[in-house]
């Protein structure tokens, strides 16, 4: 079990950012981020205003931006405890995703509404 809690704050311009908080007086952790077994470089861990809090950030590697589902795993190196993960879903994998289906249904409904209104105007 990890001695830290990780909370995502933002993913912007290809950089993932989060807040790492110690559960009890823990030392500065050593963090590892990996994608498909390869280590992600340029991990930044900066102390926040209060003790036991750190700002974690790392760039999402270009290899992780690909079709399908890609997962980056964030772990504490000393204990090997899983702190969190980042999941990216792109292109064809979205075809089965309910959110993509909802967007498609909305677009089709808008098209049908326009066609129905046009039909109503023509029959008047």
Question: For residue range 64-80, what is the model confidence (pLDDT) as tens digits?
Answer: 998 888 899 999 988 88
Mean pLDDT, all residues of the chain: 87
The C-alpha atoms of residue 4 and residue 29 are separated, in whole angstroms, by 9
Model pLDDT, residue 72: 94
Model pLDDT, residue 92: 67
Residue 86, pLDDT > 70, answer yes
Residue 108, pLDDT > 70, answer yes
Mean pLDDT of 16-26: 88
59: CB partners within 8 A, 6+ apart: 14, 15, 16, 40, 42
**Which residue is associated with the tokens 């879903």?**
89
Mean pLDDT of 13-18: 96
Question: Which fold would CATH assign to domain 4-91?
Answer: Immunoglobulin-like (2.60.40)
Confidence at 20, pLDDT banded by 50, 70, 90: very high
Please enumerate, as own/partner, the contacts of 4-11 that have beta carbons within 8 Å and a separation of 24 or more.
4/29, 4/76, 4/81, 4/83, 6/56, 6/74, 6/83, 6/84, 8/84, 8/86, 11/60, 11/86
Residue 100, pLDDT > 90, answer no
Residue 56, pLDDT > 70, answer yes
CA torsion 55→24→32→54, rounded to 10°?
10
């Amino acid at each position: 079990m990890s001695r830290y809690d990780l909370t995502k704050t933002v993913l912007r311009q290809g950089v993932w950012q989060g807040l790492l908080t110690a559960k009890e007086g823990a030392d500065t952790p050593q963090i590892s981020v990996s994608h498909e077994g390869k280590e992600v470089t340029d991990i930044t861990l900066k102390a926040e205003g209060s003790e036991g809090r750190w700002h974690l950030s790392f760039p999402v590697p270009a290899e992780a931006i690909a079709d399908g589902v890609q997962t980056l795993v964030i772990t504490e190196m000393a204990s090997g405890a899983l702190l969190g993960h980042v999941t990216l879903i792109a292109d064809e994998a979205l075809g089965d995703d309910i959110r993509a289906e909802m967007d498609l249904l909305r677009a089709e409904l808008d098209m049908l509404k326009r066609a129905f209104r046009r039909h109503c105007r023509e029959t008047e």
